[in-house]
Structure 1
């Protein structure tokens, strides 16, 4: 199993929390996609999401994803994974942290949600993964002016961002700035 699809062997009490969190996120994405297709239906108000203690860092708001990332293929995969995990959500006692099939399915769902949300989703016990937070990828072919991956007026000192900022060629006078923050709080 690749690192991208790995999922930790969580304690019996934490596993149902992780399953519930990932399923909730997947259902939010699927519901919002269905609502966007029906343009006559008003979007529901944003709900306050309880993030379980098993989530490390800031996974962001459940409604804060890029709808363009929810392709037909990803929608099908989300629906399949939600269906596969539904049994565990309804019967928490069946979820065992050492169940490799369950962990692979959770790893696939997490990887898919990370792509849709553009953020890491990290759980307790994953010391090798960055904490849940923003993921920024900025790849440029030619930089002739200024290329910035992240520019912020203010940022919390506890904010977590994983930034990949690359260019094939930076021309004379060109500049690459990965992070520019005016005020760190």
Structure 2
């Protein structure tokens, strides 16, 4: 499958609307835990970790001034397009799915699995997630920190891809 092409290379005139959309999604996630939680958003997105929350806040802060610009100042602005792409990637991690805009060349229907394993000792075999079957392609990101391993340690074990 072709690698995704960055937002910066594809969006053209749609960039102002894409920025509004991404900031709206990020704001809904950042509002969680402040008493005005969106129930639908809770089902769709994981709660961001403290570092993810900080990253979202920083990316939103960088991108929010674009809302005050005229569309012709936003369209073709490579810096804003790259910032929007970074925000999209941060949101994709939290939503555990790709965010694809119309007409965009980007992998679709891919399962994204992200896992952090932090253990002191592993004496036998340890698997973080065991999945019987997945119906489409899988992107995996596994971070493992272990002090002492005397067996095997596997982040994600998938029996079969359908």
Gaps of 5+ in 1: 1-5, 48-60
Gaps of 5+ in 2: 1-5
Query: What is the rounded CA distance, in whole Å, between the counterparts of 1:166 and 1:180 in structure 2?
Result: 14
**8 Å contact from structure 1 (residues 16, 92) kept in 2:** yes
Query: What is the rounded CA distance, in whole Å, between the counterparts of 1:183 and 1:105 in structure 2?
Result: 37
Q: Equivalent residue for 1:52?
A: none
Please list the CA deviations of residues 145-178 of structure 1 after superposition, one character each: whole Å capped at 9, or x if unmatched.
333243224421x14232325455531xx12234
Q: Equivalent residue for 1:12?
A: 12
Q: Equivalent residue for 1:64?
A: 45
Count of residues in correspondence between the two structures: 152
Alpha carbons of 1:108 and 1:95: their partners in 2 closer, same or farther (altered >3 Å)? same
| TM-score normalised according to structure 2 size | 0.61
Q: Equivalent residue for 2:40?
A: 46
Alpha carbons of 1:80 and 1:12: their partners in 2 closer, same or farther (altered >3 Å)? same
**C-alpha deviation, 1:94, in angstroms:** 4.0
**1:136 equivalent in alignment to 2:136:** no
**C-alpha deviation, 1:134, in angstroms:** 2.0
| TM-score normalised according to structure 1 size | 0.56
**8 Å contact from structure 1 (residues 138, 165) kept in 2:** yes
Alpha carbons of 1:142 and 1:17: their partners in 2 closer, same or farther (altered >3 Å)? farther
**1:181 equivalent in alignment to 2:121:** no
**8 Å contact from structure 1 (residues 131, 160) kept in 2:** no
- The within-5 A match list for 1:135-174 is 135-140=113-118, 142-156=121-135, 158-166=136-144, 169-171=148-150, 174=151
Please list the CA deviations of residues 50-86 of structure 1 after superposition, one character each: whole Å capped at 9, or x if unmatched.
xxxxxxxxxxx88312244477744642552452232
**C-alpha deviation, 1:136, in angstroms:** 1.6
Query: What is the rounded CA distance, in whole Å, between the counterparts of 2:52 and 2:44 in structure 1?
Result: 16
**C-alpha deviation, 1:135, in angstroms:** 4.0
2:80 pairs with one of 102, 120, 124: 102
Q: Equivalent residue for 1:85?
A: 66
